[in-house]
Chain A
Amino acid sequence: MKIVTHSPSPQPLPSWLRYTCQAVWLINIVVLPLVALLAVFLAGPARAETAQSPLVTMDEVKSGTLLLKSSEAGRYIEAPRVATDVDIIVSGPTARARITQIFTNPSNGWVEAVYAYPLPEESAVHALKMVIGKRVIIGDIKEKKEAKAIYETAKAAGQKASLVEQERPNLFTNSVANIGPHEQVVVQIDYQEPVRLSGDEFSLRVPLVVAPRYNPAPITQTADLAADGSGWGTTADPVPDRDKITSPALDPRINAPVNPVTIKVRLQAGFALGEVKSPHHSIRTETVDAQTQIIALTGENHADRDFELTWKPQNSKAPAVGLFRETIGKNDYALAYVTPPVVEQKQEERPREIVFVIDNSGSMGGTSMDQAKASLDYALSRLKPADRFNVIRFDDTMTALFQDTVTANRDNVSTAREFVGDLEASGGTEMLAPLEAALNDKRPNDQAFVRQIVFLTDGAIGNEQQLLDTIAAKLGRSRVFMVGIGSAPNNYLMNRAAELGRGTFTSIGSTDQVDERMRNLFAKLESPVITNLVATFSAGNADVTPAILPDLYRGEPLVIAAKLGSLSGTLTIKGMIGKQPWEVTLPVAKAAEGEGLSKLWARRKISDAEVESTLGKISREEADKRILKLALENSLVSRLTSLVAVDKTVTRSQDKPLTRADVPINLPAGWDFDKVFGEQTTRKAGLESDSNIQLAKLVQGNKPVTKQAPADELPLPQTATDAELRIIAGLMMLLASAGLFFFTRKTTGKAS
């Protein structure tokens, strides 16, 4: 360009060209270095290492916030928060729920949030949506491993991703990767569930908190010897996924409750509504018409207890039968509720032999223990002199009150009531030994007595399958009646145990429910059982579930779902009420329109496969095959399938570290923190000081400890300074300004 100004050419360049050239020169010398500098500074991501680490020290915390211990001593991570909104529409026999979880990252770093949350044990989880700003990403159902791989790839690439996995049929985790500093990600999960009917009362339960579970240590291992007869084998951990189902729980005395919850239910019962109640939350009800009400929670609520809604028909008698249908593509699905009549015949003539098992572990501490003791006391008072009974209490130890069942005479009953009255909650929850003791039948062929086991617990354990296997294998003539205690019982364990034990499940959520529910339970125990149930669709070609129809107790409906060949003919249900035959016929064509029945059918079929494999009727592989097929065809989350959503956009650059953080959860309402954590830990230390590994696991599992990279891979710090960059940039700028100085002096000289 100098050539232009000094050009000896007789033809002076046109002035526009001169200015253009000068402008270009100016841009080159001034703007480009600036742009380069900016680019370099923006692109040098991990430059200020401390600013991007999500870890903070106590001194760095400015506002009130929740900290989790990190693997680095003295440094903490600000816990991600989750706010939950539950929107439910009940249409007749089914409920459609949409759970919206809003994840917030309060820290300055990039975080992967892992939230463990419960869902009803019969819920069919079928849809996942992730909302980032205005974009909505729809999740796909994939085989569990494949979904995990998709999620991990996206996570490593810096894309936002969400993965919904089933850990237990009623316990799910949602992992959300790459939530940026102070960012929010919204995840929506849809599920269908059947409404529960017992007696004349319909109910719906939304579990909101996962109770901290007691995970028996690998000391009670199951050994698996190799089939080749070499005698060598492997031992299995009874809780293979203990890390996954353990979230940090907060001590309610120190921390304000986290995880706010809002719930709205549109209740379209399909009949004129009578009493509508929420026993554990205060609600506001808006009546739309005689059959429809809108129920919402009032006040501030946090995920620390299950939400329960019960409703009764206006004329107080629930319909004895209900038949609903849904057509999806070429297939028709039906759902039937049939309540057998109550036969007021003389009570079961045979006396009963009842074993009561009561859980007095630390997790029962607080109001749960009172409820359990009150329930058992009521039960003992209902015994008749002809009955035989025993009481077993357990925490991580167990005591049977009597060697064998004894006659329920006044002395024995009062001894038992005293024993129960003195129980206090503490220690771990080793449920297997007392269950085996209760199932241990000294007179397996004695038909003079009806043998019943009443099991009172919150089921806060991680080794469910071990217990279910035991019930399936050793049931014999006994029947198992589960009584779920507390604000957040493990309903999956309760229901499945009752199903395999061919008894019932009663849930007691508060002390004022003890009387009513225990009375109902005893009415069931004392009334004749409805057995030998068979359901037949006359049109044939129907796939009915449950495959094994349960025995029914007084006031309980038979609930069956079916995939039908055609919507015609009749559904006939036959059975024996005590010693009387009973039969009912329903015209299929007159079924009312229902919603989500196909999902419920598939979900129930999955349970069937699990039950059959537990009972040893089909192999584990066969069960897996069936479950996988059903889940993929019907887009359901299961033990073998997960929902995964991945954002195409890369938001986190490779250099910024990502830290995993479990979302802390509230301790269920009424629980005693010390009883569950403090005392349990120290007690275990005293009892089993020879097993340090177990103690370490217990402490690690219970205390809020976040996991960074796997322990065996040490992440390396940023080890480059920007000294050279600064020197180069500084020199460039000095050079540029010198150039500019030269340039302005030149033109000034010429102008004068």
Chain B
Amino acid sequence: MSATVTINNGSKQKGRAVIRPALRAGMIAMALFGLLLFSQGIWIHAKAILAQVLLDRAFTQSIETGQPVKPWSWADTWPVARIEFPRIGETSIALRGASGQALAFGPGHVDRSAEAGENGTAVYAAHRDTHFAFLKNVQIGDTIKITRRDGKAFTYQVTETSVVHWDQSGIDSNADGKNLVLATCWPFNATTSGPMRYLVKAQIAE
């Protein structure tokens, strides 16, 4: 039967001779590109984990010295707070500013929002698939402990969770009382980014 095939294809053999190397080249290129993408994806996670180690070190140092310490020499931001979730055993070091670059390494303290422990609303945002992936496990009533760069620590209690549109957050940075909002993208299991955000709201526990 295979002989029949060969005879039937006889006229096409020249064409095949051209297609085959092309296919092979395409295959190799595709494999390399695939590998690149795959490793990029892994790198994002690796960076997120690795950065936290460096950030933790820099933060500890900055509490000791009282000065902002950059986690690595070329960083354009520095750690400003440690966020701890005692019940689920998670800890994260937050950075100043919530730009794309900062969020790659840790949660960002959103500019224009209040400082933790001050009147108003302090807002921290982080990626739903790295630093704030555990936010879906946070429950109402949980405590969140925030240690500031000056060493002062504040305990908040989760009061509410909600889903909002990114530019209609309803967050008032000058709201009464001492409030905390942790924000991340929603839904958690989506692969593409979207306009919705998941908020965990908390109030200071006196």
Flag if B36 contacts A657 (CB, 8 Å): no
Contact, CB under 8 Å: A723 / B37? no
Q: Knowing A719-B132, A734-B31 touch, does A15 contact B24 (C-beta < 8 A)?
A: no
Stretch of B52-60, B86-94, B139-147, B169-177 on the interface side: B169-177
Cβ–Cβ < 8 Å partners of A717 in chain B: 98-100, 103, 108, 110, 125, 183
Partner of B42, one of A8, A718, A727: A727
Query: Inside 8 A of B108's CB, which chain A residues have their CB?
Result: 717
Partner of B192, one of A40, A49, A72, A719: A40
Task: Looking at the assembled complex, report how far the CB atom of A595 sits from the nearest CB atom of chain B, in whole angstroms.
Answer: 47
Q: Which residue of B lies closest to A750 (CB)?
A: B2
Contacts of A709 in B (CB 8 A): 167
Instruction: Mark out the residues of chain B between 99 and 126 whose CB falls within 8 Å of any chain A CB in the assembled complex.
Output: 99-101, 103-104, 108, 110-113, 121, 123, 125-126
A723 touches B129 (CB 8 A): yes
- Give complex CA distance A716, B195 in Å: 10
Tell me the complex Cα distance, A66–B127, Å. Answer: 34
State whether the Cβ of B50 lies closer than 8 Å to any Cβ in chain A. no
Judge whether B184 is part of the interface by a CB distance below 8 angstroms: yes
A47 interfacial by beta-carbon distance below 8 Å: yes
User: Contact mask B134-156 → A, CB, 8 Å, 1/0?
Assistant: 00000000000000000000000
Task: Say whether A716 contacts B38, CB under 8 Å.
Answer: no
Which one, B9, B41, B166, contacts A716 given CB within 8 A?
A: B166
Could you tell me if A713 and B168 are in contact, using CB atoms closer than 8 angstroms? yes
Q: Which residues of B lie under 8 Å from residue A727 when comparing CB positions?
A: 37-38, 41-42
Q: Give chain A residues whose Cβ lies under 8 Å from the Cβ of B40.
A: 723, 726, 730
How many cross-chain pairs have Cβ atoms below 8 Å apart between A and B? 185
CB distance from B138 to the nearest CB of A (A): 15
Give a binary string over A708-730; 1 marks a CB under 8 Å from any B CB, 0 the rest.
01011111111111111111111
- Chain A, Cβ-Cβ closest to B28: A737
Contact in complex: B169, A723 (CB < 8 Å):
no
Q: A654-B195, A716-B125, A730-B35 are in contact. Are A721 and B5 (CB under 8 A)?
A: no
* Cβ–Cβ contact A733 & B9, under 8 A: no
- Which A residues lie within 8 Å of B27 (CB)? 737, 740-741, 744
Contact in complex: B30, A718 (CB < 8 Å): no
**C-alpha spacing A726/B5, complex, angstroms:** 41
B130 touches A712 (CB 8 A): no
Contact status A15-B111, CB under 8 Å: no
Interface residues of A toward B: which range? 35 or more
The answer to the question of B14 belonging to the interface, with a C-beta cut-off of 8 Å to chain A, is: no
In-complex Cβ contact of B128 among A71, A720, A737 (8 A): A720
Residue of A nearest to B20 (CB): A744
- Please give me the residue from chain A that is nearest to B107 by CB atom: A719
Chain A residue, CB-CB nearest to B113: A714
- Please, which residues of chain B bring their CB within 8 A of the CB of A720? 127-129, 184-185, 190, 192-194
**Contact residues in B for A712 (Cβ distance below 8 Å):** 172-174
User: Binary interface profile of B, 13-25, with partner A (CB < 8 Å = 1, else 0)?
Assistant: 1001000100110
Knowing A718-B193, A720-B127, say if A49 contacts B104 (CB, 8 Å). Answer: no
Given A12-B5, A715-B169, A734 and B126 touching (CB < 8 A)?
no
B1 in contact (CB, < 8 A): yes
From known contacts A50-B101, A714-B112, A730-B37, infer whether A721 and B130 are also in contact, taking CB-CB under 8 Å. yes
Does the CB pair B191–A733 fall under 8 Å? no
Does B70 reach chain A (CB closer than 8 Å)? Answer: no
Known: A657-B167, A716-B183. A748 touches B20 (CB 8 A): yes
Assembled-state Cα–Cα distance A715/B173 (Å)? 11
Which of A48, A713, A726 is the one whose CB lies under 8 Å from B37?
A726
Kindly state the separation between the CA atoms of A711 and B104 in the bound complex, as whole angstroms: 27
| A655 and B195 form a contact (CB under 8 A) | yes
Q: Out of A8, A50, A725, A751, which one reaches B191, CB within 8 Å? A: A725
CB atoms of A72 and B112 under 8 A apart? yes
Q: Please give 12 more A-B residue pairs, beta carbons under 8 A apart, in addition to A716-B110, A730-B36.
A: A655-B195, A714-B113, A714-B123, A714-B169, A714-B172, A716-B123, A716-B171, A719-B185, A727-B38, A730-B35, A731-B38, A744-B24
Binding site for B on A (CB under 8 A): 8, 12, 15, 30, 40, 43-50, 71-73, 654-655, 657, 709, 711-738, 740-741, 744, 747-748, 750-751
| Chain B residues near A (Cβ < 8 Å) | 1-2, 4-6, 8-9, 13, 16, 20, 23-24, 26-28, 30-31, 33-42, 44-45, 48, 98-101, 103-104, 108, 110-113, 121, 123, 125-130, 132, 164, 166-174, 183-185, 190-195, 197
> Can you give 30 contacting A-B residue pairs, CB < 8 Å?
A12-B1, A30-B30, A44-B193, A73-B111, A712-B174, A713-B170, A714-B113, A714-B171, A716-B166, A718-B100, A718-B103, A719-B197, A720-B128, A720-B184, A721-B48, A721-B129, A722-B191, A723-B41, A723-B130, A724-B129, A724-B191, A726-B40, A727-B38, A729-B41, A730-B35, A732-B34, A733-B30, A736-B30, A744-B24, A751-B6
